[in-house]
Amino acid sequence: MKNRPKTAQSTKAMRRRLPPGILALAGVAMLAAAAPAIAAKQARQPVEAVAPREAGEPIMAIVSIKSQQVTFYDADGWILRAPVSTGTTGRETPAGVFAIVEKDKDHRSTMYDDAWMPNMQRITWNGIALHGGPLPGYAASHGCVRMPFGFAENLFDKTNIGMRVIISPDDAAPVDFAHPSLFVPKREAIAAVPNRADRLSAEAEEATRVADDAKKAAAAAAKEAASLPASLRKLEQQKSRTEAELAFVDKQLATAKTDQARVKAEELKQKAAAKAADAAAQLDAAKAAAQPKRDAVAATKEAAKAAATRKADAVKAATDAKLALEPVSVYISRATQKLYVRRNTHKPAPDGGGEVFDTSIEVPVTIRNPDQPLGTHIFTAMAKNDNGLRWSVVTIENGDDARNALDRVTIPQEVWDRIAPTALPRSSIIISDEPLSSETNYRTEFVAVLSSHPQGGFITRKPTAPMAVASDDGWDNGGFGFFFQQRDPYAQPVNPRRRGQYQYYQPAQPMQRSFW
């Protein structure tokens, strides 16, 4: 390390000894020597760029925290590039895997003094987003990814909910990739999807109508039978009173001392016996009439239950067929030893904000050498080709080589058979050491952060509040709904590497091993 006071003294002494002309030449020489370094530094500053070709629909965005740059890719390569400003020290933008969950043209921050965040594209519900903002040339945000104002505005209408956003600690880019474990769709299966979806949707609507009718019939039968217990209880009380009266008269007859008393008691007994017999007959008749009503209640209840089951099965099949028209995303976690599947239903969330993602597949997965890191690799179907789909891979954490990581995973064949035949471009498979973040819920695609990198801007924000769960009737007035498991956004950490930091997604109850 230089001794700054001595250096300053030496410089002053040199200035006193050298003539002014020589000092000027020395200054020019020093500037000339420094010019390449300054130029190199300026050259490293990211600049906005547009690919010299017609752009397709953006498939993914990759943010490099190291280079402070974002690049958007379509099926054929990069299309847009711009400088960014990510989170500053203590409020770092989390590196990981995200997707756009909401868009707001003129957003105002609810966390930071109503700050203007134009052309906001949210990637977590706790407040991390891409948006227009000032760019000082270095990381300076509270955790969001600021983009140039004009760039953010031009980009806003080009992206869709569910588009993958990858935030990498270093520079990363998609690389062409092929592997036998990746989805291989079948043309005939894809071609059959629309007709199958329409047919099953009609069946689901009919099953819903039948279930509603059965439910109404069960309610009517239950209402008609509701008064039976009170009526029968009243008749039983009446019968008990007449029997008691008859017993009292019998006692009077037995103790009668005179003929006149016996005659009178005999008359009273005949009347009491008639009343008792009439009360017993009324009770028996009421019981006989009640039994068919009770049987009707049981029968309509069972019919409603069976119709509800058929409705659920029909809606599930229709949902499966409809979702086959959407790209599918798979997340495989070494931390939880599970495989998760999601597809966007494009249904608006019932509690407002964003769209609903189907979450009905969550199954165990086998990983060879589970104690060894896999890394984090995002495999994406970029476009169709002669073999089915052309794939790329983006690696943002090197635990193992992408190919080796995929080789180490054994995915249940039943899951593959369910997904692969109708896989479409923009489908993806993510393999990671990380569990899903607790920010993952039914209004998000997958949210996973790298535990080995700072996440200040993520950790300091409140986790998403608990949200309502959609009922089986859905929101489309036709009973064609979707099924979701309640998620606990305050789940306990499951990753021992990051105890005491941000919490991770865990279902509030075990998921059933079923499909859409």
pLDDT at position 237 over 60: yes
**Helix, strand, coil shares, percent, the chain, to 5:** 40, 25, 40
Among 44-48, 89-93, 284-288, 319-323, the range of highest mean pLDDT: 89-93
Q: Which residues pair with 341 in a beta bridge?
A: 330, 361
pLDDT-based confidence at residue 516 (cuts at 50, 70, 90): very low
Tokens of 356: 């609903």
CB atoms near residue 426 (< 10 Å): 23
Mean residue pLDDT of the chain comes to 81
Q: What percent of the chain has pLDDT over 90?
A: 48
Name the token pair of 380.
């994406």
Could you tell me the strand order of the sheet in which 96-99 lies? 49-50, 77-83, 69-74, 60-64, 164-168, 96-99, 448-449
- Residues taking part in catalysis: 131, 144
Characterise 337 by phi-psi region: left (phi > 0), alpha (psi -120 to 50), beta (else). Answer: left
Task: Tokens for 209, please give them.
Answer: 């109508």
Q: Say if residue 509 is exposed, middle or buried (CB neighbours under 10 Å; 0-12, 13-18, 19+).
A: exposed
Taking the C-alpha atoms of 15, 18, 22 and 27 in order, what is their torsion angle to the nearest 10 degrees?
Answer: -20
Q: Can you tell me the distance from the alpha carbon of 319 to that of 482, in angstroms, rounded to the nearest whole number?
A: 7
Q: State the alpha helices, DSSP H only, in 157-258.
A: 187-225, 228-254
Do 100 and 121 touch, CB atoms closer than 8 A?
Answer: yes
Predicted confidence (pLDDT) at residue 223 exceeds the cutoff of 70: yes
pLDDT in tens, 276-324: 888 888 878 878 877 888 888 899 999 999 999 999 999 888 888 888 8
Q: Quick one: pLDDT band at residue 423, thresholds 50, 70, 90?
A: very high
Q: What is the pLDDT of residues 429-478, one digit of tens each?
A: 999 999 999 899 989 999 999 999 988 888 888 777 655 444 443 333 33
Instruction: Name the residue among 109, 114, 102 with its Cα closest to residue 156.
Output: 102
Domains in the chain (CATH in brackets) are 49-173 (2.40.440.10), 193-323 (1.10.287)
Dist CA 438 CA 507 (whole Å): 10
Tokens standing for residue 129: 């987003």
Cβ 384 vs Cβ 422: under 8 Å: no
Q: Residue 8 is which amino acid?
A: A
Whether 206 shows a pLDDT value over 50: the answer reads yes
Looking at residue 236, its pLDDT comes to 86
- Write down the pLDDT at residue 503: 52
pLDDT of the residue at 373 = 96
Q: What is the DSSP string of 46-96?
A: ---EE-SS------EEEEETTTTEEEEEETTEEEEEEE-B-B-TTSPPPPE
Pick from 67-81, 277-291, 378-392: least confident:
277-291
pLDDT at position 115: 66
H/E element, 103: strand 102-108
**Distance of alpha carbon 32 from alpha carbon 309, whole angstroms:** 82
Mapped onto helix, strand or coil, the DSSP state of residue 344 is strand
pLDDT of residue 338: 96
Round to whole Å and give the CA distance between 103 and 130: 10
In the numeric block, the tokens 């009347």 are attached to 271
Q: How far apart are CA 318 and CA 199, in angstroms?
A: 8
> CA-CA distance, 470 to 341, in Å (whole number)?
18
Q: Which of 508, 471, 502 is nearest to 487 (CA)?
A: 508
- What pLDDT, on the 0 to 100 scale, is given for residue 506? 56
Beta bridge partners of 357: 344
* Strands 164-168 and 60-64, bridge-based pairing: parallel
| Percent of the chain's residues with pLDDT above 70 | 79
> What per-residue confidence (pLDDT) applies to 487?
38
Q: At 379, is the secondary structure helix, strand, or coil?
A: strand
What's the confidence (pLDDT) of residue 318?
86
